[in-house]
Structure 1
Amino acid sequence: MTGSDFAQSVAPRRVGLMGGSFDPVHQAHVNLAALALAQLHLDEVRWIPVGHPWQKSRQLASAADRLAMVEAATAHEPRFVVDPIEVNRSGPSYTLDTVRALQGSAEPDPGHWFLIIGQDQYANFHTWHGWQELLQRVTLAVAGRAGEPPRPGDALAAQPHDVVMLPLPPMPVSSTDIRARLARGEYPASLAPALVPEPVARYIANHQLYAPSHR
């Protein structure tokens, strides 16, 4: 084994964590994960649909449906891994618990862990459960807006932390808007490829998710 081969063999894995309700997963999620994969030279992006979101009061689509949609959206990229760790865990889904579990199972390789989040999540990061410890475990990878650097809230700004910016082009798409459009019957899910990946659109249509009768 050459010196370069040995260095490569012991290099810590670079793992991106992409959490969320994914209700439904949409094109901006996929684009952000792909950007992180390329820009941060990740070995994988681990998609983690939330189980019991402690900061959301509305009823989500079933865990089975949300997992299936994420699997459909990510099947084209072998470095995208869908992990049901939060869906399978009882109690509130705290990101800190998830990171502790994943890092513990990865020992003895400590790895380099990136938490992929949006600007809104970055601004409100100080409200997350155990956020100070979380900062010690991960590098925050924040989707910037229109080329602007990510802006932390005052509490986070006062706390030393590692952060990188992911320059994601603006995309006028959100899960809230998709659900609202479908609930109004504005268009069939199969005709929304600009908003959601085609396999996800087919899944939504086939299972009649977010239709008026499912509100």
Structure 2
Amino acid sequence: MSDETFSLIGIYGGTFDPVHFGHLRVAEELIGILQLDEIRFVPAGNPRLRNEPIASQHHRKIMLYEAIRDNKKFFLDDRELRRSGESYSVESLRELKEEFKGKKVAFCFIIGIDAFLKLPNWHLWRELFGLSHLVIVNRPGHISFEHQACLPPKLQEACSDRWTDDVNALKHVSSGFVFTAVTTLLDISSTTIRAYIAAEKSARYLLPDNVLNYIGTHHVYTRENENR
């Protein structure tokens, strides 16, 4: 490790279809655990390995803005919504690296354990280690792994010398570490919220009231208005 000290910025991608308290609580806790200067929420435009989002890009962007606007350390980064074609995390991290060139900043790419275990399916996935640290967050219903033997072989090999449980280590190297974060796990899913709304059931207390109000006002996720 070098004697340099880097400020840490979290990069939190996802479809956020819609954003909910599970997303927000993880982000809030990671600010404290990792001593992040900020977290950038990066909604996916057209994710290659996931189904097309139900809500339009416009709706997802506004819902996310409404959810995070009162937190001074949360920022909306819509670069993937503005990009044509499929969304690749490696491209977003490349752009961010270039934008912060010359600044003492290291990026922490936040990823759920389910997505992490499928990382070898991602576009140019090995490049992620040269662009950021990876911060793995467990999710409800998934068994946490305690050692590398639980990983797929390609991932085990790629991560073998990258694990750390030292937050300070992340601040002294610009990229390359893999850190597992223990956070409060809220068993909330966007899929469940969409199903509740489509069935005219209450989704209150699963997501912020202003987001729920926006969904109701604009008829997002009602069957006749899906993806408009």
Where on the TM-score scale, by shorter chain, does this alignment land: which range? Answer: 0.7 to 0.9
- Per-residue CA distance 1:22-61 (angstroms, 9 max, x = gap): 0000111001111111110111100001111111233431
Match of 1:156 in 2: 155
Match of 1:75 in 2: 69
Match of 2:170 in 1: none
Judge conservation of contact 2:112–2:139 (CA < 8 Å) in 1: no
- 79, 91, 94: which one pairs with 1:100? 94
CA change 1:72–1:115 in 2 (3 A) is same
Superposed displacement of residue 87, structure 1: 0.5
* Letter matched to residue 107 of structure 2: W
Match of 1:199 in 2: 210
Most deviating of 48-57 and 95-104: 48-57
Superposed displacement of residue 186, structure 1: 2.2
Most deviating of 18-27 and 70-79: 70-79
Match of 1:116 in 2: 110
Superposed displacement of residue 64, structure 1: 1.1
1:24-39 correspondence runs (5 A): 24-39=18-33
So what's the TM-score if we normalise by structure 2? Answer: 0.82
Considering Cα pairs closer than 8 Å and 6+ residues apart, tell me whether 1 or 2 has the greater RCO: 2
Aligned-partner SS, 1:73: helix
CA change 1:51–1:156 in 2 (3 A) is same
Superposed displacement of residue 110, structure 1: 4.8
* Letter matched to residue 124 of structure 1: K
In 2, Cα distance between equivalents of 1:184 and 1:58: 21
| Matched-pair identity in % | 30
Judge conservation of contact 1:125–1:153 (CA < 8 Å) in 2: no
Aligned-partner SS, 2:82: coil
1:172 aligns with 2:187: yes
- 183, 196, 200: which one pairs with 1:185? 200
CA change 1:172–1:24 in 2 (3 A) is same
Judge conservation of contact 1:103–1:110 (CA < 8 Å) in 2: no
Match of 1:4 in 2: none
In 2, Cα distance between equivalents of 1:98 and 1:67: 17
CA change 1:152–1:114 in 2 (3 A) is farther
Q: How many residues align?
A: 203
So what's the TM-score if we normalise by structure 1? Answer: 0.87
Judge conservation of contact 1:145–1:169 (CA < 8 Å) in 2: no
Q: CA RMSD in A?
A: 2.0
Aligned-partner SS, 1:159: helix
In 2, Cα distance between equivalents of 1:206 and 1:137: 40
Judge conservation of contact 2:25–2:184 (CA < 8 Å) in 1: no
Most deviating of 165-174 and 52-61: 52-61
In 1, Cα distance between equivalents of 2:65 and 2:108: 21
* Letter matched to residue 143 of structure 1: V
Superposed displacement of residue 21, structure 1: 0.5
- Per-residue CA distance 1:112-154 (angstroms, 9 max, x = gap): 1101111101111111111101122111111135794475433
Most deviating of 50-59 and 121-130: 50-59
Match of 1:3 in 2: none
Judge conservation of contact 1:182–1:212 (CA < 8 Å) in 2: no
